[in-house]
Structure 1
Amino acid sequence: MTDHSPAELRRILAEDGGRPFDLAERLGVPEAALVAARIGHGTTRIDPLPGRLIPRVQALGEVMALTRNRSCVIEKIGTYNDFHDGEHAAMTVDPEIDLRIFPRHWVHAFAVEQEAETGTRRSIQVFDAAGDAVHKIHLREGSDLPAWEALKRDLALPDQSDTASFEPRAPVEPPRAGAERADALRREWAAMTDTHQFNILIRRLKMNRLGAYRIAGAPLVRPLAVEAVPALLERVHAGGVGVMFFVGNMGCIEIHSGKVHSLRPMGPWLNVMDPRFNLHLRGDHVAEVWAVDKPTKRGPAISVEAFDAEGALIFQCFGLRPEKGGNAEQWATLVADLPALAEAAE
């Protein structure tokens, strides 16, 4: 719950005009509380279950999909095609809107209509139990409005009150590893045949991703300087290198597969501003960067992965697979040439 009444939140929203994420941070309230306060004022509480929601989103046609964490936002324009439902994990598999969905974190959802100078803005906004944004879907000029009206009607929940209850935000898990298990980690890592085996491996060894990276050592991982992140974007852009960019949170991971055509840094933000793909990255949040090499049947899966000061994953970037138009040798060379962490280079 929040100390601010829904009426107070509506007044603040009307006066502020800024981004809800930033406003929620300033007020010390969950972002979802700001959205819930507008129920009955252009906002409808809807069923968050991906198995019900995503097929209705597909009917909207072209939209913009947005996924964020505290340090990075990814936006893709396209249609939600080829949806695969699942109790623990679901996905859309489309060249443009490519998502990995974890339904237990899809707790609160709203269909939102807001008047603006450019007309009515329509969006679907999904939040986790703490009220943090998991995924947002913004309608575009060509989106199907009858499908939107049907979605609001058919997915509306009985509870249309303008308040909501939220759980405390789970803290970021600090790096977790065990030096006594380092040899087992290296041995089993080197024997992997698929990148998906990595999460199973570190869970079995009672580690997490960053903890494992810190003890694995060469040639499996290499610590990079924080300057490697802008260098990565600049070199991917300049070289026309095809990549897969993964940005997400506990409830959703959104993936861009392709090239980077337009870089526009602005203050602390590193921005990709392509016609159907935007990325907004707080470069000043990056505290650790790792070049990671995982063996697979199709050859090494090499990634660059950035973490914030608390140990939360900000993004992962892989080379685009050759069958998708990528160049494995070009990507491997690019990563090998990124600046190393000074202590590691000495």
Structure 2
Amino acid sequence: MPMAKPGPDQIRALRAENPKLRARDFAAQHAITEADLVAAHVGHGATAIVADPDRLLPWVGRLGEVMALTRNDHCVHERIGSYLDYRTGAFAAMVLGPEIDLRVFGKHWVHAFAVEELGEDGPKRSLQVFDAAGDAVHKVHLKPQSNHALWGDLIGNMRLADQARTLTLSLRRPAEAARADSLGAPALRSAWDRMTDTHQFFGMVKDHGMNRLGAYRIAGAPYVDRLEPEAVTQTLTRAAEGRVPVMIFVGNAGCIQIHGGPIERITPMGPWINVMDPRFNLHLRADRIAEVYRVWKPTRTGDVFSVEAFAADGELILQIFGYRKNTLAQPWIDLTRALPLLERVPA
């Protein structure tokens, strides 16, 4: 029989007994979601607010410098900066600042909270957004240099009338397994050759009845090469050692967060491989990488190569591209060509 979900008062009591455990781990331990945990604290440091990114993110832009956090089950992406140049969109909104670079899928922004906790150096303030299943989509952590004077105004303008301490959540959707059609591989490759922009890729594989992982499994060289799982760690290490700037994409159904530029300090810690730079941190469970691919895409401005990692259930963990803005592409191409092949899949 499944464990009964504890009520808000019990959740707060359990949390008080174990305040230092990471919220995600605490939630898993007690068979609740992170959203349940935060909602239980409504009226006790948490306020339910409007989750609509078109209303929330312009307020975040006024907070000045903050830390943006987006994660999936296997990787955490943290970037310090300001939310600048917010652009709404029917399918996806965007934040296009030089440091905070996001793609936002608003239909997955369902529950949101403004959270204030007592820290050793004063109040710790954050904005936390969750999807319909209660999983974290995106978080904004205020820094000491943020505009804390705006915090009260933000809550006053974004506060929901219903300050419920319990949530009605939907079932979590499992990751989509690879979808491919080997008989359609020739047509896929032909369409691949005609690409002129990387953003055409998703529509292309969808038109062929496949998804990203399925297409990678059957495309073969020169479109795709399968790499050893440790190739991701080697990519990060060699990019740091060679000062090769990169773009690192980490996301979930509701948000993709992008780092663009150099990386410097690579720190292994148990199963984690970490980038620990002053304004960018990445925390990756390297032991959960099941498949890695080097992918080539033609564009009107030149060839684009990426290193992309997937979990055993088919979830995309992260993508790493060369950083092409005002930089030469060749050092990145040379780096990817030196990565260890698991097998070469002939076209």
Q: What is the TM-score of this pair, normalised by structure 1?
A: 0.97
> For the Cα contact (< 8 Å) 2:220–2:345, is it kept in 1?
no
> Which one of 4, 7, 10 corresponds to residue 9 of structure 2?
7
1:325 aligns with 2:326: yes
- TM-superposed deviation, 1:344: 5.8
Partners of 2:291 and 2:332 in 1: CA distance:
20
Superposition RMSD in Å: 1.3
Match of 1:228 in 2: 231
Structure 2: give runs of 5+ residues left out of the alignment: none
Deviation digits for residues 117-139 of structure 1, max 9, x if unmatched?
22110000000000000000000
- Equivalent position of 2:252 in the other structure: 249
8 A contact 2:78–2:282 mirrored in 1? yes
Matching of residue 202 in structure 1 with residue 215 in structure 2: no
Opposite residue 200 of structure 2, the aligned amino acid is Q
The residue number in structure 1 matching 2:290 is 287
Give the equivalent residue in structure 2 for 1:110.
113
1:325, CA displacement in angstroms? 3.1
Instruction: Work out the CA distance in 2 between the residues paired with 1:130 and 1:287.
Output: 25
Write the letter of the residue equivalent to 1:158: A
Give the superposition deviation at 1:63: 0.4
SS at structure 2 position matched to 1:183: helix
Secondary structure of 1:41 counterpart? coil
Equivalent position of 2:79 in the other structure? 76
> Contact conserved, 1:87 with 1:103, CA < 8 A, in 2?
no
TM-score, normalising length from structure 2? 0.97
Contact 2:221 2:344 in 1 (8 A): no
Question: How many angstroms does 1:342 deviate by?
Answer: 5.0
For residues 29 and 36 of structure 2, what CA distance do their matches in structure 1 show?
Answer: 13
Q: 2:75–2:282: 8 Å Cα contact kept in structure 1?
A: yes
Shift, 1:147, TM fit:
1.3
Contact 1:242/1:327 (CA < 8 Å) preserved in 2? no
Q: Which moved more, 1:16-25 or 1:166-175?
A: 16-25
Give 1:336's aligned residue.
337
Separation (CA, whole Å) in 1 of partners of 2:147 and 2:4: 35
Shift of 1:229: 1.2
Contact 2:274 2:283 in 1 (8 A): yes
1:95 maps onto 2:98 in alignment: yes
What's 2:59 paired with?
A: 56
Stretch of structure 1 that moved more, 335-344 or 18-27: 335-344
For residues 117-136 of structure 1, the aligned pairs below 5 Å read 117-136=120-139
Alpha-carbon separation, structure 1, partners of 2:345 and 2:270: 29
SS in 2 for 1:265: strand
Q: Does 1:85 align with 2:72?
A: no
Structure 2 matches for 1:137-286, cutoff 5 A?
Answer: 137-286=140-289
User: Could you tell me which amino acid in structure 2 is paired with residue 233 of structure 1?
Assistant: L
Kept in 1: contact 2:221–2:345 (CA 8 A):
no
Does the 8 A contact of 2:182 with 2:218 survive in 1? yes
CA distance in 2, matches of 1:91, 1:196: 15
Matched with 1:44 is 47
Q: 2:302 aligns with which of 295, 299, 307?
A: 299
Misfit runs of 4+, over 3 Å: 342-345
1:12 to partner: Cα distance = 1.3
Q: Which runs of 5 or more structure 1 residues have no equivalent in the other structure?
A: none
Alpha carbons of 1:153 and 1:211: their partners in 2 closer, same or farther (altered >3 Å)?
same
Shift in Å, 1:198:
0.5
Aligned residues: 343
| Rounded Cα–Cα distance in structure 2 between residues aligned with 1:28 and 1:332 | 45
Offset of residue 29 of structure 1: 1.2
Provide Cα deviations, 1:55-92, integer angstroms capped at 9, x if missing partner.
00111111000000000001000110000012321000
Could you tell me how far 1:304 is from its partner in structure 2? 0.1
- State the identity as a percent: 53
Contact 2:5 2:31 in 1 (8 A): no
What's the offset of the Cα at 1:2? Answer: 6.4
Q: Match of 1:92, SS?
A: strand
Moved more, 295-304 or 25-34: 25-34
> CA–CA distance in 1 between the matches of 2:148 and 2:34?
26
Secondary structure in structure 1 of the residue aligned to 2:24: helix
Between the aligned partners of 1:171 and 1:28, the Cα distance in structure 2 is 17
Q: Secondary structure at the match of 1:159?
A: coil
Q: Report the 3-state secondary structure (helix = DSSP H, G, I; strand = E; otherwise coil) of the residue aligned with 2:222.
A: coil
By how many angstroms is 1:294 displaced?
A: 0.4
